[in-house]
Amino acid sequence: MSQVKAIIGLGNPGPDYATTRHNAGAWLVEAMARTAGTELRAERKFLGLHAKVRLDGHELHLLEPTTFMNRSGGAVAALTQFFKIAPDELLVAHDELDLPPGAARYKRGGGHGGHNGLRDIIRALGNDNSFHRLRIGIGHPGDARQVTNYVLGRPGKAERAAIDAAIDECQATLPLAIADDWARAMNRLHSFKP
């Protein structure tokens, strides 16, 4: 197995979207930067906000694309090409409709499941879908026709607290994931209840 070298947090850019459910992946990367005592800085060549951090002795790139969600692949491709990072050395954090707020899951590879950010990343990586994912639950509105408005809406107070608790637990399990101990990372994260 190869070690994770970059964590990508998906979302939409700008203040109108900053607190919407679709930005749950970006919230993780922002929390990681805060925990590391650094800030994400605009980096034009990566089409996003970037920082380098150390986590348990491992150097990691954090990237929050500042393209819209359905164009996330350009930012990911720019970062991976510049630093020679292979797709299986990426961890992409994103919102997940199929998990309730407060739940999060690691996953390796697979399709995009209708997620436009993942779809564009897979395309930009030459249809290589071997990257790791961190699926952060936001719940489902119950009707497929309401999904767009739902993901672009703001979670209620209790819902946001549950998502934030899951993000804290994600951060607690990341050292295991980064050390390539996916079994322990998954065991801990997947059994978490906020």
To the query of whether residue 115 is one of the catalytic residues in this protein, the response is: no
Q: Which amino acid is at 168?
A: D
Nearest alpha-carbon partner for 153 in 52, 5, 24: 24
Please tell me what DSSP assigns to residue 155: P
Distance CA 193, CA 189 (A): 9
HSE of 121, CA atoms in CB hemisphere, 13 A: 35
Nearest alpha-carbon partner for 89 in 9, 186, 169, 177: 177
Q: Which residue in 22, 50, 94, 132 is the catalytic one?
A: 22
Nearest alpha-carbon partner for 88 in 4, 188, 157: 4
Walk across the sheet containing 41-43 and list its strands. Answer: 41-43, 48-55, 58-65, 6-9, 90-96, 132-137, 104-108
Catalytic residues: 22
